[in-house]
Structure 1
Amino acid sequence: MDQANEPDSLRERLIDAGVDLVMTEGSASLGLREIARRAGVSHGAPRRYFPTHHALLSAIAGRGFTELAARFATAAEAAGTPREQLRGLADAFLAYAGEYGGMFALMFRHDLLDSEAHASDEDADEPGRPRLRESTLPLFTRLVELVTQDRAHHTENGTGPSYDAAPPPALTAAALWTNLHGIAVLRASGSLQLAFPGTREGPDPLVTAVLDAHLGRVDA
């Protein structure tokens, strides 16, 4: 092995081990000792590549955001209009949360996203690399862009509601994201199914309701 690349290789191995652990056993299993054991290194090895447990967890969660971004891109490419793309992103978000609940929970942990509180940890880990909090920004920016495009599309075509009194696109995108995250969390806990069993065949009626509520209903 090239000695110059060995630190990067071991670092990635630790992250790989953490990703595998959170996918199979959930975020509560991500202890330093277990990650080191899975990676086949000594218990003290993670400290040589990550100054704190928080820094390692942030790196693991970053992999989740990378995967979610890829799913967003694939969903958008498969859709047509801005509304269809938003539908695809919403479905992809909920599908990821349903398939990878442990990683999803890790990704949105407040203590990991609070970059200012842990800035020194992350800067010491990888100087110049975006912090975990910044990993969410491109996803949110894409939502804002699509909300803006959706309004322009319906204004140009004379369809959909009037947007004269509508909140700014960023506020609408934030409300949309919040609503989708709530659905994901309530489904994961089983609470939503108790109140609204719904049907999982065909388009998700909750996603339809969320889009109509925040973007306005568009009659065919």
Structure 2
Amino acid sequence: MTTPEPEPAPQDAGLRTRLVDAGVDLVSREGAGALTLREIARRAGVSHGAPRRHFPTHLELLSAIAHRGFTDLAARVNALRGDGSTDDPRGQLTRLGDAYLRFALENAGMYELMFRHDLLESGHLRLRDTSLPLFGVLVELVGRVRPDADARAVAAALWANLHGIAQLWRWGSLQLVTGADDFAPLLRTALDAHLGPEDGR
């Protein structure tokens, strides 16, 4: 039988939150590459060794920052699903795809951090417990649109497509090759490619 760890003192919990807050602000302003322990500590107003009290490794602090991103994305998805809309599954997928792309483009540094393989593989803060349910929403909706197909495989291919659109749009590559100034037509095309054309189109 293991003894539960004592609750952190209020000032310790406050410092942990302050460090994560500083990291979230830093990644939003300067990107994932700026997330050094020293710079996060400086912005939190503590010594460069202070983060080690709560985050023994740099990876654990980065995971805590990425967890905020997944929580934000999950809140957006849940808000869309719980807003009383009567959209059919295809309509919900369109709105979720739009929300995903907007999140990626509005939070480029955080988005890059969230999908770092080493963070997801590390197991810190059980990031997969936050990210996999989001994928589960996609699988469920795809399954309702394509009951004939392997919903998990189709959802994975659609997600990969959306991820690629987000990255290439952020770099300006898609605007260059398509002349588009809005990603909505690309989103519709991706949905058509993986789900089949909408009825009547």
TM-score normalised by structure 2 residue count? 0.89
Match of residue 208 from structure 1: 188
Distance, in Å, in 1 between the alignment partners of 2:23 and 2:130 is 18
2:100 alignment partner, one of 83, 93, 97:
93
Which stretches in structure 2 are left out of the alignment for 5+ residues?
Answer: 1-7
Overall identity of the aligned pairs, in % = 58
Q: What amino acid is the match of 1:84?
A: G
User: Take 1:197 and 1:113, find their aligned partners in 2: how far apart are those partners?
Assistant: 35
Contact 1:76/1:88 (CA < 8 Å) preserved in 2?
no
Equivalent residue number for residue 149 of structure 1: 144
SS in 2 for 1:131: helix
State the partner residue of 2:166. Answer: 184
| DSSP 3-state at the match of 2:146 | helix
How many residue pairs get aligned? The number is 191
Q: CA–CA distance in 2 between the matches of 1:37 and 1:134?
A: 31
Query: Residue type matched to 1:213 in 2?
Result: A
User: Which whole-Å deviations, capped at 9, do the CAs of 1:177-220 have from their partners, x for residues lacking one?
Assistant: 000000001111122221112242xx801110111111111223
Is the 8 Å Cα contact of residues 23 and 102 (structure 1) preserved in structure 2? yes
Shift of 1:21: 0.4
The 10-residue stretch of structure 1 (36-45 or 142-151) with the greater mean CA deviation from structure 2: 142-151
Aligned to 1:197: 179
Matching residue of 2:88: 81
Whole-Å separation in 2 of the counterparts to 1:22 and 1:198: 28
Aligned to 2:151: 169
Shift of 1:106: 0.6
Alignment RMSD: 1.6
Alpha-carbon offset, residue 40 of structure 1: 1.0
CA distance in 1, matches of 2:152, 2:34: 36
- Give 2:60's aligned residue: 55
Matching of residue 37 in structure 1 with residue 42 in structure 2: yes
Q: Which runs of 5+ in 1 are unaligned?
A: 123-129, 153-162
Change (3 A) 1:105 1:31: same
* Secondary structure of 1:51 counterpart: coil
